[in-house]
Amino acid sequence: MHPVLSKTMSDMNLTFIGGGNMASSLIGGLIADGWNPATIQVADRDQQQLERLAKRFGITTTTDNRAAATRADIIVLAVKPQAMHDVAVDLAATVVQHRPLVISIAAGVRENALRDWLGAGTPIVRTMPNTPALVQSGATALFANPVVTENQRSTAESIMRAVGLALWVDDEDQLDAVTALSGSGPAYFFLFMEAMQAAACKLGLPEDTARLLTLQTAFGAAKMALESPEGAAALRHRVTSPGGTTERAISIFEENGLEGLVAKAMQAAADRSRELAGEIGNQS
């Protein structure tokens, strides 16, 4: 029986290759959800980071990737995309022998490249988390190759849910759109908040006041949208009184082509996602 299928979630040995911010957030979320720290191991070249993780979470750490992978039921590849080829090739023999579930959180590294490097028959789940996962408010899309079982899909989803929303896509190409939307999306909102804050200062508000009102307004709008059964358009219309201030502001956005500008920007992000995937996948 496959090792992942013969164990309950609490018994599975989970190894992170890479101990950066995203790995740290996932570990924190998993332990908060009840995952046993004794079954979590992190491999990283940074000894100081390993010491911080061990002290904070009570987990096992090592600088040896292959040793960490040997006993793993699940391996989370949490290294930078540019390092993925070398890391995966180094782990290939161990992965082929033990057949753990492999979860990648590296942007732009496609499943076929991971499979080529790790070995055919490897169960791989490719994910696209975003930076709000660092504060347990992430949005992650997941794609599984045909080797991944239903139990493994459930396990991967549970791991990514530890830092926020987790949704499956059936077509890996959709991850390029996810990258343009939720992957890069936080920066769009930061840019808009930055612009709102600057405009408020020009209108006479103190900088601290403008900042706090901008952040709380963004938070409140997102919370309303999450908790309302209505879509964003309906919520917008509800707060846009005819002849009022909001209508005047919205008309300026519309007259200057905000919708088309957003579409153009997201298309550029999706195109770049595909380009980067091609560049990384050509490593051999």
pLDDT of amino acid 3 = 45
Q: Pairing mode, if any, of strands 60-62 and 14-17? A: unpaired
Tell me the average pLDDT across 140-149.
97
DSSP string for 152-178: HHHHHHHHHHTTEEEEE-SSTTHHHHH
pLDDT tens readout for residues 45-65: 999 999 999 999 999 999 999
pLDDT of amino acid 284 = 59
How far is it, in rounded angstroms, from Cα 130 to Cα 22? 9
How far is it, in rounded angstroms, from Cα 95 to Cα 75? 9
Query: Going by CATH, does the domain composed of 183-272 fall within 1.10.3730.10?
Result: yes
Query: Going by CATH, does the domain composed of 9-169 fall within 3.90.1260.10?
Result: no
pLDDT of amino acid 59 = 98
pLDDT tens readout for residues 64-102: 999 999 999 999 999 999 999 999 999 999 999 999 999
- What is the residue extent of each domain of the chain? 9-169, 183-272
> In this structure, what token pair is assigned to residue 254?
């519309």
Predicted TM-score of the model (pTM): 0.89
pLDDT tens readout for residues 106-117: 988 999 999 999
